[in-house]
Structure 1
Amino acid sequence: MKSVKLQNEKIPSIALGTWSWGTGEAGGDAVFGNFLTAADLKPVFDAAIDAGFNLWDTAAVYGMGASETILGSFTKDRNDVLISTKFTPQIAGEKDNAVEELLDGSLKRLGVDHADIYWIHNPADVKRWTPKLIPSMKSGKVKYVGVSNHNLEEIKLAASILAEEGLKISAVQNHYSLLYRSSEEAGIIDYCKENGIVFFSYMVLEQGALTDKYSAQHPFPSGTRRGEAFNSDVLAKLEGLIHVMRDIGSKYNVSTAQIAIAWSIAKGTVPIIGVTKTTHIEDAIKAAEVNLTAQEIRDLEAAAKETGVEVRGSWEKPMH
């Protein structure tokens, strides 16, 4: 298993995401059309741990606690799991101690005494919320801090606020895929490399659109976020890219999904892969072993550009 350094910690080259675990507001049913319970997901968790994937990414807002509760039922009394969870300003209200309160709620649901990575989920008010992390960092409730969906200016502002207390940002997590490279174009990935910050890429598979499991003939379930974002017309535009991914995949005996993951690793990022089946763990194992050539990376990026497709989440703003 390849690993990456997060400050003094070794982490796997792929993190596992739980956005689609559990049901409820902003949960797996509403976003993905999934209705997954702890019983469905326990074999997935066990397969991941056996394979050495021990960094799990969740958030209080995923199913409004449902995702954390399921993950917590698996991680209780274990010391071999790294937990990444998030503070979402939009659910904080006006309380002055909202960060501490929401963090405590997350830790309770997860059955742990600290978060290995605690993220500010989006930059609703960088000056207001970033300083609120400092007491939890100093007390040890938060080991490493990350910012998600922040542009370069906001990352630098958050970093400067923490630096005044001798603290630093350890991680950045943004939407980054073959179809959405704005964090690279805006210089965020270079900034992270220069400052010893790990860049985590989410939606690397574009919620399934880059897996070759869906097409204009076999679209996503309607009435879901991904079904609307990647309708039949959009899926038709992706056919050329999927063809290139398939060709490169056949050389390494891997799937198009594994090529998308391998590309994000080759770009120096740690992809967060949503996992709901044990086959997703097998995907991750294989993808981590693929070493794409510089020419293959260029071919993939050229084919992606030719699609003209760039789908941004409703919660996202441009990075530059």
Structure 2
Amino acid sequence: MDTDERMPKVAMGAWSWGAGVAGGDQVFGNHLGESDLQPIFDVAMERGLNLWDTATVYGMGASEDILGRFIRQGNKKDAVIISTKFTPQIAGMYEDSMAKMAEASCERLGIDVIDLYWIHNPADVERWTPELIPLLQSGKVKNVGVSNHNLSEIKRANEILGEQGFRISAVQNHFSLLNRSSESSGILDYCRENDITFFAYMVLEQGA
């Protein structure tokens, strides 16, 4: 990835920030308000944990809004590495949906460029993967990834991007001692062989 030289080994997840659909009250830790989250952001940044993972669908924009306020208040725009996501299931909110959704994420987060932009799930690999290409060509997005995709879907997405000289930089899947499907399916091996960064989420099974 373009940001490898400054990429910490741990990403700070903002899945539970805010309330609403696909976040908030559906996620462990949602009881924390902004006054609780602010010191977490501040200490993380002080300790070099500057990679923040969020998504438009987390709290339906609330997670990005909160993170964006922290970034602006601390003037951390140039210090943060932002990972956020396009979710096909809510694409109907916009025309030219992926580009519009990426721009809306930038506005909420107070940034100009997204370091890592994901397709959140494989609703339609053939339809949505090509829409990443103009974002890469324009520089609005530095790197792209796929989340919750199986091995064949990851390979196909990489093929589509490769036709225009781009590639998948990262894969993000559920992975823990209890859920090792990315290992048994060959996804981890594929990532190693193709220099793709693997992001594991729910590594502690939400505290279970």
Normalising by the smaller structure, the TM-score range is over 0.9
Residue-by-residue CA offset, 1:69-101 (whole Å, 9 max, x unaligned):
000011124211000000000000286511011
Please point out which of 23, 39, 43 is paired with 1:43. 39
Alpha-carbon distance in 2 for matches of 1:172, 1:27:
21
Matched residue, 1:172: 171
Query: Is the 8 Å Cα contact of residues 23 and 36 (structure 1) preserved in structure 2?
Result: no
Alpha-carbon distance in 2 for matches of 1:116, 1:190:
24
In the TM superposition, residue 25 of structure 1 has moved relative to its aligned partner by 1.8
In the TM superposition, residue 188 of structure 1 has moved relative to its aligned partner by 0.4
Alpha-carbon distance in 1 for matches of 2:160, 2:202:
29
Matched residue, 2:120: 121
In the TM superposition, residue 47 of structure 1 has moved relative to its aligned partner by 0.6
Query: Is the 8 Å Cα contact of residues 175 and 202 (structure 2) preserved in structure 1?
Result: yes
1:183 aligns with 2:178: no
CA RMSD of aligned residues (A): 1.4
The residue correspondences of 1:86-105 to structure 2 (distance < 5 A) are: 86-93=85-92, 97-105=96-104
Matched residue, 1:253: none
Which moved further from structure 2: 73-82 or 178-187? Answer: 73-82
Query: Is the 8 Å Cα contact of residues 7 and 196 (structure 1) preserved in structure 2?
Result: no
Residue-by-residue CA offset, 1:17-41 (whole Å, 9 max, x unaligned):
0001111222222322623222211
Letter in 1 for 2:12: L
Query: Is the 8 Å Cα contact of residues 2 and 142 (structure 2) preserved in structure 1?
Result: no
SS of 1:143's partner is strand
Structure 2-normalised TM-score? 0.94
Alpha-carbon distance in 1 for matches of 2:21, 2:151:
30
Residue-by-residue CA offset, 1:213-238 (whole Å, 9 max, x unaligned):
xxxxxxxxxxxxxxxxxxxxxxxxxx
SS of 1:92's partner is helix
Residue-by-residue CA offset, 1:117-139 (whole Å, 9 max, x unaligned):
00000000000000001111111
In the TM superposition, residue 114 of structure 1 has moved relative to its aligned partner by 1.0
Alpha-carbon distance in 2 for matches of 1:91, 1:47:
33
Query: Is the 8 Å Cα contact of residues 126 and 158 (structure 1) preserved in structure 2?
Result: yes
SS of 2:169's partner is strand
Q: May I ask how many residue pairs the two structures share in their alignment?
A: 204
Which moved further from structure 2: 175-184 or 36-45? Answer: 36-45
Matched residue, 2:144: 145
SS of 2:84's partner is strand
Alpha-carbon distance in 1 for matches of 2:134, 2:127:
14
Alpha-carbon distance in 2 for matches of 1:208, 1:56:
20
Q: 1:50 to 1:18 in 2, by over 3 A?
A: same
Alpha-carbon distance in 2 for matches of 1:108, 1:37:
21
SS of 2:173's partner is strand
Please point out which of 20, 23, 33 is paired with 2:19. 23
- Larger of the two Rg values belongs to structure: 1
- Percent identity over paired residues: 63
Alpha-carbon distance in 1 for matches of 2:205, 2:26:
16
Alpha-carbon distance in 2 for matches of 1:26, 1:8:
28
Structure 1-normalised TM-score? 0.62
Q: 1:84 to 1:32 in 2, by over 3 A?
A: same
**Unaligned ranges ≥5, structure 2:** none
Alpha-carbon distance in 2 for matches of 1:116, 1:95:
22
In the TM superposition, residue 155 of structure 1 has moved relative to its aligned partner by 0.5
Letter in 2 for 1:65: G
**Unaligned ranges ≥5, structure 1:** 1-5, 210-320
In the TM superposition, residue 176 of structure 1 has moved relative to its aligned partner by 0.4
Matched residue, 1:226: none
